[in-house]
Structure 1
Amino acid sequence: MDYNKTGIQYMQEGKYEEAAKAFSAAIEENPNEALYYVNFGNLLSAVDEPEKAIRFYQKALEITPTIATAYYGMGNVYYNLGDFQKAKEHFETANKHGLENSDTFFMLGMTLQQMEQDKLSLVYLQRAVELNEEDTEARFQLGLSLAGQSFIDEAIEQFIEVTTRNPSHADAFYNLGVAYAGYKEDAEKALEMFNKALEIQPTHALAHNGKQIVESALSEQ
């Protein structure tokens, strides 16, 4: 039996106890395979055991100091713990060791955003979307980043693309409403966007507020 493959399958199914048993068996069978420790670390991170997860990632790095996925896993743990400097360092090291995929660039962008390094964050989020155009969450965050840098037309393009690829993305419609109301001064279009957000998520408080403000402004015309 391929215990590692079985463990991954259990993780994907949310069967964490079974996954832990499978990864333990994989490690017992081959204690010098760094990847097995990384996968166990990922499992521990998923069940909110960050300190234990870090120990497994560190063990993986003792065996294979260049295993990029261990650095990436540690980056995620530190990000969730709010230690953004350490998260940044680990994501950068993962990238340096060859993990040059959309997820790594996305997490680097999100980390830099938390560190208020907005211009650099924008660069990484753009790269994330270039590498995976289907990732609507990365594209949405790119739109927010563009808007934050006052690139409103470019932000609108990204939000429209998000809603095209994911028509149930209420936050993207809400942000389109904000852009049309606050920057384009197109109240009718803004109202349309707020209404779409509320159709998807009737409890969207920000969309409710935006809609009320626009309706109030239209009634005074």
Structure 2
Amino acid sequence: MEFSQNDNNNLPLTKFESMLKTNNVLFFDSEEFENIIHHYLNQGKVALAKKAIKLGLSQHPSSVNLRLFKVEVYIFENELDKANALLNELYVLEPNNEEIYIQKANIFSKQDNHEKAVDVLKRALEFAQDTTDLYSLIGMEYLFLDKFEEAKEYFKKCLEQDIDDYSALYNIIYCFDFLDQNEEAIEFLNDYLETNPYCEVAWHQLGKQYYTIKDYEKALSAYDFAIISDDTFVGAYLEKGKVLEKLKRYEEAIESYSLTLELDDPTSFALLRIGHCYEKSGKYDLAAKYYFKTVHEDPLLDKGWISLTKLYNKQRNYQKALHYINKAINIDSENIAYWKLYSQINHRLNFLEEAERGYKRTLELGNYELDTWIARGDILIKLGEAEAAIFNFLQAAEFHPESAEIEYRLAGLYFLQHETEKGTFHLKNALRTNKEYAFIIEELFPNVYQKPQVKRILQS
């Protein structure tokens, strides 16, 4: 029994807590102690639970249930040897007590011995009158073992005994998802809905399965049925909005997302999605309005700041874009895409030192795409940093050894540094790889291009 603040069932609890404040020891029957201990454990008040167990056992030393609570506390505090010893004593007294097996399995589980935990729980099934909880525990142990087919079967047994066991339903779908069995999940959920047609959770999960396989029309229907079953189901409106976005039905998507703002406190996710829908519809002022609402709701949501960045970048308002990309980077400084965008914006503003710093950071974070190396190297050339540019392109060549674009740049840089032999080597390499990129020499190194030796090689 769980105590409530609004009924008389909490009288033993009030009496117990009053007793703790005095030196008087009052008598409680063993069932009252069990309810008090259960209440404290559910509330996470382990110290008070231990006091109740100690006093309970002093008044009812032969109570197996009170001693089982003691085992539960031992397990919680990781005193597994003490828990095992006490369980062995209790087993002698009540070998058919399912709770003894459950706690024994709990110990095995904490020791990562999930196979033994399953064996013990299956033995408990022989004595249990209500097997639902045991089926659920066995299913969880199979999840720990990554045995998803077995886990699925035991969670299905839970549903057979209680069709409204949504925890079991979620776990079954989790197994289907992990096994990439979307079609099987759809079949299972449709069968389940035959017997429980107004289960909004099942409709919601069915919609997610259809969304995964990109059957957006059926996903939309499933979410509509979830909303019919429960018109306050915020999750269904959000998912419906995502589907409508995929179908480019942006006005309807905005309506679906907006309903969640009326049903519950505004979420940054819904505000952000509304902003995206307005942006995709070309309504940039409204998009910006909702992006600002997003970051007001959650200032640490980098996706909100990056959305503002991209919006202003698209409108060529690079100063504002730069302001907001800095905010995104302050939140997630390891994001390669953010640094790359930071570099591009600075480049457009002709802030070459900052752009170079951004590309360098992008490379440091593991982005070795050819265009990143080239963009950084070309900026270093403009800045007159020939040595740094050479080092950049030599590193780039390790990742892109067949790139003519890199070879032409190395050729031009070496000729610029009067290292004729190296320049000739890279220029011939470049021409062998791709003659069409020869214009790079003329564009980036006009003085080098005028050299008779270079012209002879280019014309050969």
Mark the CA change 1:86 to 1:159 in structure 2 (over 3 Å): closer, same or farther: same
Question: What does 1:141-160 align with in structure 2 at a 5 Å threshold?
Answer: 141-148=307-314, 152=318, 154-160=320-326
Cα distance, 1:72 vs. partner?
1.9
**Bigger shift: residues 84-93 or 119-128:** 84-93
**1:105-184, aligned counterparts within 5 Å?**
105-148=271-314, 152=318, 154-183=320-349
- 2:361 aligns with one of 177, 181, 196: 196
Q: Percent identity?
A: 15
What is the aligned counterpart of 2:249 among 83, 108, 111? 83
TM-aligned CA distance change 1:69 to 1:11, over 3 Å: farther
Contact map agreement 2:347 2:355 (CA 8 A) in 1: yes
Amino acid of the structure 1 residue aligned with 2:363:
L
- Which residue in 2 is equivalent to 1:57? 223
Kept in 2, the 8 Å contact 1:7–1:23? The answer is no
In the alignment, which of 86, 92, 101 is matched to residue 258 of structure 2? 92
**TM-score (normalised: structure 2):** 0.42
Cα separation, partners in 2 of 1:156 and 1:204, compared to 1, 3 Å = farther
| Contact 1:61/1:67 (8 A) holds in 2 | yes
Pick the structure with greater CA Rg.
2
Q: Distance in 2 between matches of 1:158 and 1:167?
A: 13
Q: Which residue of 2 is the match for residue 27 of structure 1?
A: 193
Question: Which residue among 380, 404, 410 is the counterpart of 1:215?
Answer: 380
Equivalent residue letter for 2:252: K
Q: Report how far residue 191 of structure 1 moved.
A: 0.7
* Contact kept in structure 1, 2:340 and 2:358, CA below 8 Å: yes
Q: Deviations over 1:155-185 (max 9, x none)?
A: 43432343343333222112211332322x3
- 2:206 counterpart residue number: 40
- One-letter amino acid of the structure 2 residue matched with residue 52 of structure 1: K
CA distance in 1, matches of 2:264, 2:289: 19
What letter matches 1:130 in structure 2?
A: H
* Distance in 1 separating the partners of 2:297 and 2:179: 28
Match of 1:3 in 2: 168
**Cα distance per residue 1:56-100 (max 9 Å; x no partner):** 112122223343332222211121122323322322233333362
In structure 2, C-alpha distance between the alignment counterparts of 1:157 and 1:202, rounded to whole Å = 26
Aligned partners of 1:145 and 1:96: how far apart in 2? 27
In 2: Cα distance, 1:122 partner to 1:112 partner: 9
Query: Which structure 2 residue ranges, 5 or more long, are not aligned?
Result: 1-157, 159-166, 385-443, 445-460
Task: Pick 1 or 2: higher relative contact order, CA cutoff 8 A, min separation 6.
Answer: 1
Output one character per residue of 1:88-134: Cα deviation in whole Å (capped at 9) or x when no partner: 23222333333621111111111111111112111212222333344
Q: CA-atom RMSD, angstroms?
A: 3.0
Conserved 8 A contact 1:146-1:154: yes
Size of the aligned set, in residue pairs, is 218
Do the aligned partners of 1:68 and 1:99 also contact (CA within 8 Å) in 2?
no
The alpha-carbon deviation at position 45 of structure 1 amounts to 0.8
Amino acid at match of 2:379: V
| Matches of 1:133 and 1:11, distance apart in 2 | 36
Q: TM-score, normalised by structure 1?
A: 0.79
Quickly say closer, same or farther: Cα 1:14–1:113, change in 2 above 3 A: farther
SS in 2 for 1:95: helix
1:68 aligns with 2:248: no
Q: Within 2, Cα distance between the matches of 1:114 and 1:69?
A: 23
Distance 1:164 1:21 in 2: 46
- Contact kept, 8 Å, 1:4 with 1:23, in 2: the verdict is no
Partner-residue secondary structure (3-state), 1:32: coil
- 1:88 match: secondary structure: helix
Q: Which runs of 5+ in 1 are unaligned?
A: none
